[in-house]
Amino acid sequence: MSSRPTTPGATGEEPSENIITSALSRLSAVTSRLHGGDYPKDEDDSTDDDASNWDRMPEVKALKGSNANGSDAQKARKLGLTWTDLTIKGVGADACFNENVFSQYLPEKLKGGTDAAKAKLRTIIDNSHGCVKPGEMLLVLGRPGAGCTTLLKNLSNRRAGYAEVDGQVNYGSLTPKEAAKYRGQIIINTEEELFFPTLTVGTADNPPGFANAEESRLGSRDFLLKLLGISHTFNTKVGNEFIRGVSGGERKRVSLIEAMATRGSIYCWDNPTRGLDASTALQFTKALRDMTDIFGLSTIVTVYQAGNAIYDLFDKVLVLDVGKQIYYGPQKEARPFMEDLGFVCADGANVADFLTGVTVPTERSVRQGFEDRFPRNAEAILAAYQASSIRAQMQTEYTYPTTDEAKSNTQDFELAIRAEKHPSWLMNKLPVTLGFGKQLTAAIRRQYQILRGDMAVVVVKQGSNIIQALSAGSLFYNTSTDSTGIFLRSGSMFVAMVFNVLIAQSEVTDSFSGRPVLAKHKSFALYHPAAFCFSQIVTDIPIFIFQITTFTLPLYFMVGLTASASNYFIFWLILFSVTGCMTAVFRAAGAGFPTFDAASKVAGLIINTTFLYIGYFIPKPQMHPWFVWLYWVNPLSYAYDALLSNEFHGKVLPCVGPNLIPNGPGYGSLENQACAGIRGAPPGAASITGDQYLDALNYSHANLWRNIGILWVWWAFFVFLTVFFTSRWAESAAQSGLLLVPREKSRNTRGIPIDEESQGTEEKITGSSSSSATRVPATKEANLIRNTSVFTWRNLTYTVQTPQGPRVLLNNVHGWVKPGMLGALMGSSGAGKTTLLDVLAQRKTDGTIHGNILVDGNPLSVSFQRSAGYCEQLDVHEALATVREALEFSALLRQPRETSREDKLKYVDVIVDLLEMHDIENCLIGTPGGAGLSVEQRKRLTIGVELVAKPSILIFLDEPTSGLDGQAAFNIIRFLKKLAAAGQAILVTIHQPSAQLFSQFDTLLLLAKGGNTVYFGDIGENGDQVKEYFARYNAPCPVETNPAEHMIDVVSGHHRRDWTKVWLESPEHEEMLAELDNIVAEASSAPPKTADDGFEFAMSLWDQVKIVTQRNNVSMWRNTEYVNNKVTLHIIIGLFAGFSFWQVGNGLGDLQFRLFAVFQFLFVAPGVIAQLQPLFIQKRDIYDAREKKSKMYSWQAFVTGLIVSEFPYLMVCGVLFFLCFYYTVGFPGDTDKAGAALLLMLLYEMLYTGIGQFIAAYAPNAVAATLANPLIIITLVGFCGVLVPYSAIQEFWRYWLYYMNAFNYLLGGLMVFTTYDVQVSCKESEFSMFDPLANQTCGEYLSDYLQGMGSGTNLTNPDALTGCRVCQYKTGADYLATVNVPDYYMGWRNIGIVAIFVCSGYGLVYLLMKLRTKQSKKAE
């Protein structure tokens, strides 16, 4: 075999270990580390010296041993990887249609689409083979769509989601099944960067810190941060698309370090250099080379746009073309092999791009004389390879798993792992290495770091907790100790539980926000999922103690509950137990379902069932037998029993006021009075004991501690469920990368076979798509927009505030972009390239900008943001729109209002042609990492979305080539060159340009760390001018070296020189300033080239609203999961509440059941709101991140679109709930009453949707919104006159909050239409029975009472001399008078008032969205 490539730091000796460190350092034997001075705390990050100095790493030291003879060195952990005849099949995209709300119910025959129902299997990898021995590196090359990711996933033993996997794979001598328990040793680093965005880099790369030797772990972490040059970001948030954090390149390096730190034996890296600058990419690959050599790893890497310096570091190369393995062999023989077949690799060209381009007619060059006989396709090249000596040579390695070396290595590997593992029986069965106690400690530390990073959520949670305690305390303030206090005290305890349950509901939202990160950690075998689950519980304890204490102290004593220490602490303990138990319930619900919509639906049902069967609304003895089992399985019913027993035991409660008949002047004899409407009161008694009341509810004080114990048993059960479900989470979406076609587009879509990378049709792979993307026909070229304006910036400085003080991100940057000019903006990762583009494009909302930004010498106009195109680094799109819809949306909203709709849509066709997106134009965009477009397709779409807007001033592109292969990158730059030639001004940030790519640019702005300019000027033919500049200052570019890589290397600090100072003192700097002055003077004296129409947005507000609403309607129509869950929740809750109050009667107790049945309708809201808010916030994030900044449409149009798109579904839900609920309860069937009730229900659907949306409009994130909901909902529910009757509400609240409460009018209206005309007939047990005074009939004794206080009561035996029987009410109207709804007309009045509240609720959505929408910063 060919000799192994080395870097200056690779050790020559045979590696004896495989222990690359871990931020979770699963170190057992390493106990020492070089101290303090090893890692100087300076700001200068890694240089090449660091990369070679691996002896600094504590684990390398341990590997070699501390004795001179190395006698204490650790056991080796080498495996090697061999695979033969590996064939992988997946589901073909013909089967992948996205159903809509209507089509999901159609039988297959009616759905349309070709062979819609038949799922076709497609071969993604066809008969692959290879062997990577310990200490070897394999480079896997292929264009996007070739199957590289699929191959890596399967080689790393991640097979989920593939239909068939055939062939043999061996890890050392282990089979895939045997290797499964060593999951943490076979690592794959995927393209997605999955982190908790609020963690800092230091904590993200220190995930659960599993180390015996803490210092060793920290030393390894610091070494790796320094090695990849990001130690300066240690205290910076990682961030994501929507949270500001480190730069894209820095975030990628955090992801790489995390994988490097997991101490695997086999590593698969999927495009690890994406988003890194050329210098860092090379440095990282050198680090992989060193790790592989020192530790004896087997390393497999896919890289797009691999420079020759990177390519030369590998031992072997494997080339894939649409799943076929057309070459596998030594790296040094790959180029000669292809050249022998007749292909030509130009001097200085990237060999990797040459190897992947041989099957693409437009990319390959054929040597003279071979035109007739060169292999024209992958099959022909494969046939040539099969017949070659290289194939025969490589085949000899495939017996490696049966060799003594492999068996010995595997044995040593197993012994080393066993020695490192915790000795417990359980840990030996699991892939994790550390003892559970240490896993738990590390996971707890991580939980606190996550909390600290997201303090907004903690503050919202505890703030709303205290506000709610004070609010509830004042609502039930100082309740009396007589009969009128029974209902109020019960209500206060009900509210105390309900609030804490609704707070716990946020766990469902939380569960899904962290799931991808936990799945990644599980695949790394960092810790068992149980450690994560228990760490959450331990983290909860102090928070719950604080939360329950701050909640109970105000509430308990304001309400006036029993003033005894023992009673208070029992009350505290019960609420603590309830909160813990229900948190576990919602965590189990979150863990147990694959999607958020499904989990939120179940959470909504849990809330309804637990609240209704708590024993408060329907007492246990009166529950229907078909649902009474829910009482026994409801943790809250045990808590409610315990709370009431704790409060009422041993009390005597005299009956007073409306609960005493007769009552008033002249009725003072208790012997001739009786309690009315009090459950459990003995006949003829004028008072009731607490225990009699408890007994009537089937409660007993004797069961108090039993009930608390049962709560903890439930808690343990739900914790077990959470651990069980969490342990079964899939590592990633099974259908990752499948293209989805909306069902309504199925008839005009051709079949699209795809694989993991989902790169479109085979025609594309053979050269139609991105390769021809730049073959622009002359007619199309004529259609491209031309630009005549000059864009300049001078003395541009940008400063942000950090905890350490102001930080300058851009420092006096100058430059310009002229029409017809393609400018490159380059620099190392974190130099400020994206920041500069953001500032120039007016996209920053924080910080301070100083300097001048001018168009044609004049300040920027109001229409600048939409007149300039900006393709951001992160591709943020509406997931449920198709590619064509996204392009049309941008064109319709951003092209001038004078342009006709037809012309705008014609221009979309031009851009679809230019970017060759015909094959995917009807595919849904989808989500990154899930079903939908691939990285490369998303990038093309991002560019297309900006181009269809016809930017009239210039186009900014932030790393348009990241994640693309060499050909696709070249095509995109060549396409931009065409645009520039057509007169467009373009400024592009670019990370890893090849020499050919670099030569396409006209000018270069080169930035160094801190946003300092190092060079600005022309590049020259083949980079001659730039080369000459650096050569003049003793940094000549070697022949055959890519000038772009050389420059980045030079300015990244590897030449120990202040290049900013060199630039400022150079003649080029003086010339540049003079030229800048000249350009501005010329431009400002001439008339402006670009007419400003004076409009902030291209379209009128009405047109914006129409277009945005249409997009939201289509998105909702396709969002079947969201709509189905909303509808299902209404049907299930409607039937559930209806059958719980089945055919309610006309008795005295039934009046309250009618009220509670209607009241139960309110609790549809929490479940639906919790599902609605994340969707709103997701759309708001897309709007904030891209659409708002490009002035596509205004926030008014955004809000209107979201509100209107919900209406049809709200109407359907309201009608379905009405039909399921109204008639099962047995409410009046009269058309006027039923119709009015339906109208109120429809208004309520809009009311709570408005509430949910206005909370979401201002909330920082979905979890904070879920935590704010209970405060709003409980306040509205508490002060609406049900839990506390109008007369008992404190005066402070009664005269304003009660009347400002929409729920008051809603319930009042519903009660009027369902109860007003009911004739009350008391059941035997409901009569108040007492004897009149001697010698008086009942009628005579009660005459004064019946004309006064008791005018609404019904005496059924006026002529009796004993045993007067009084029913508390005659009609429903008498009952409604006591709840402040005395007249029938109020029902219709309330409908009008609720409609006003609906409008005001939606008004608040607009207001809060406006308050949240920040203006972009302008230069001062």
Digit-coded pLDDT (tens) for 1196-1228: 999 999 999 999 999 999 999 999 999 999 888
Q: Are strands 674-675 and 660-661 parallel, antiparallel or unpaired?
A: antiparallel
Digit-coded pLDDT (tens) for 1313-1325: 998 888 888 888 8
Whole-angstrom Cα distance, residue 362 to residue 368?
A: 17
Residue with more model confidence, 326 or 1293: 326
Digit-coded pLDDT (tens) for 728-756: 776 554 445 678 888 887 776 554 444 43
- List C-alpha distances in Å: 482 to 242, 245, 513, 660, 689: 56, 60, 49, 11, 10
Q: What pLDDT is attached to residue 59?
A: 64
Phi, psi dihedrals of residue 51, rounded to the nearest 5°: -60, -30
Most confident of 1051-1055, 1243-1247, 1333-1337: 1243-1247
Among residues 1016, 1027, 1022, the alpha carbon closest in space to that of 987 is found at 1016
Confidence of residue 1242 (pLDDT cuts 50, 70, 90): very high
Digit-coded pLDDT (tens) for 1112-1153: 999 999 998 899 989 998 999 899 889 988 888 888 888 888
Amino acid at 850: H
Helices 1101-1118 + 883-894 axis angle, to 10: 170
**Dmax over Cα atoms in the chain, in whole Å?**
133
Among residues 686, 586, 746, 610, the alpha carbon closest in space to that of 110 is found at 746
**Residue 799, pLDDT above cutoff 60:** yes
Confidence of residue 1053 (pLDDT cuts 50, 70, 90): low
**Residue 981, pLDDT above cutoff 50:** yes
Residue with more model confidence, 862 or 1176: 1176
**Residue 1396, pLDDT above cutoff 50:** yes
Q: In this structure, are residues 792 and 969 in contact, taking their beta carbons and an 8 Å threshold?
A: no
Residue 35 CB burial class (10 angstroms; 0-12, 13-18, ≥19): exposed
Q: What pLDDT is attached to residue 735?
A: 44
Whole-angstrom Cα distance, residue 1057 to residue 314?
A: 31
Which tokens belong to 327? 């070459």
**Residue 427, pLDDT above cutoff 70:** no
Digit-coded pLDDT (tens) for 1342-1385: 888 888 877 888 888 888 888 888 888 888 888 888 888 888 88
Q: What is the DSSP string of 495-525?
A: HHHHHHHHHHTHHHHHHHHSHHHHHHHHHTT
Among 497-501, 791-795, 1285-1289, 1305-1309, the least confident range: 1285-1289
Q: What pTM was estimated for this model as a whole?
A: 0.78
User: What is the CA angle 132-137-138, rounded to 5?
Assistant: 70
Most confident of 158-162, 458-462, 862-866, 1030-1034: 1030-1034
Within 13 Å, how many C-alpha atoms sit on residue 698's CB side? Answer: 14
Digit-coded pLDDT (tens) for 1252-1281: 999 999 888 888 888 888 888 888 888 888
Digit-coded pLDDT (tens) for 810-852: 989 999 998 888 999 998 777 888 889 989 888 887 889 999 8
* % of the chain at pLDDT higher than 90: 25
Which own/partner pairs from 1279-1282 qualify as long-range (CB within 8 Å, at least 24 positions apart)?
A: 1279/475, 1279/1303, 1279/1304, 1280/1304, 1280/1306, 1280/1307, 1281/1307, 1281/1308, 1281/1379, 1281/1380, 1282/1155, 1282/1156, 1282/1159, 1282/1307, 1282/1379
Digit-coded pLDDT (tens) for 528-566: 888 888 888 998 899 999 999 999 999 999 998 888 899
Which tokens belong to 1190? 């490009």
Whole-angstrom Cα distance, residue 955 to residue 947?
A: 8
Digit-coded pLDDT (tens) for 752-780: 444 434 333 333 333 333 333 444 444 45
Q: In this structure, are residues 1046 and 1038 in contact, taking their beta carbons and an 8 Å threshold?
A: yes
**Residue 17, pLDDT above cutoff 50:** no
Q: What pLDDT is attached to residue 1037?
A: 86
- List C-alpha distances in Å: 1210 to 960, 1108, 1119, 1222: 42, 19, 15, 17
Confidence of residue 200 (pLDDT cuts 50, 70, 90): confident
* % of the chain at pLDDT higher than 70: 87
Question: According to the 3-state scheme, what is the secondary structure of 771-785?
Answer: HHHHCCCHHHHHHCC
DSSP state, residue 437: H
Most confident of 3-12, 329-338, 460-469: 329-338
Among residues 1136, 1125, 1135, the alpha carbon closest in space to that of 610 is found at 1136
**What average pLDDT score do residues 1049-1065 get?**
82
**What average pLDDT score do residues 913-942 get?**
82
**Residue 211, pLDDT above cutoff 50:** no
**What average pLDDT score do residues 567-580 get?**
93
Whole-angstrom Cα distance, residue 1204 to residue 697?
A: 47
Helix residue spans in 989-1037 (DSSP H): 995-998, 1024-1032
Confidence of residue 707 (pLDDT cuts 50, 70, 90): very high
Q: In this structure, are residues 977 and 777 in contact, taking their beta carbons and an 8 Å threshold?
A: no
Which tokens belong to 161? 């989601």
Digit-coded pLDDT (tens) for 1061-1096: 999 999 999 999 999 999 888 888 877 766 666 788
Phi, psi dihedrals of residue 136, rounded to the nearest 5°: -110, 150
Place of tokens 């359907």: 1212
The rounded mean pLDDT for the chain is 82
Among 99-113, 145-159, 1392-1406, the least confident range: 99-113
Q: What pLDDT is attached to residue 433?
A: 64
**Residue 976, pLDDT above cutoff 50:** yes
Q: In this structure, are residues 442 and 448 in contact, taking their beta carbons and an 8 Å threshold?
A: no
Residue with more model confidence, 452 or 67: 452
**Residue 620, pLDDT above cutoff 80:** yes
Q: Which helix (H) or strand (E) holds 1407?
A: helix 1385-1412
Digit-coded pLDDT (tens) for 493-527: 988 988 888 888 888 878 887 777 877 777 777 77
Three-state SS at 164: strand
Characterise 1031 by phi-psi region: left (phi > 0), alpha (psi -120 to 50), beta (else).
alpha
Whole-angstrom Cα distance, residue 1197 to residue 1200?
A: 5
- List C-alpha distances in Å: 970 to 277, 278, 674, 965: 16, 16, 93, 9
Digit-coded pLDDT (tens) for 369-391: 888 888 888 899 999 999 999 99
Whole-angstrom Cα distance, residue 899 to residue 902?
A: 8
- List C-alpha distances in Å: 818 to 288, 790, 1003, 1017, 1083: 42, 5, 10, 12, 11
Among residues 1021, 1040, 774, 997, the alpha carbon closest in space to that of 304 is found at 997
Give the CA-trace dihedral at 852, 856, 859, 861, to 10 degrees.
-140
Amino acid at 519: A
Residue with more model confidence, 25 or 64: 64
Three-state SS at 1413: coil
Q: What pLDDT is attached to residue 634?
A: 92
Q: What pLDDT is attached to residue 426?
A: 57
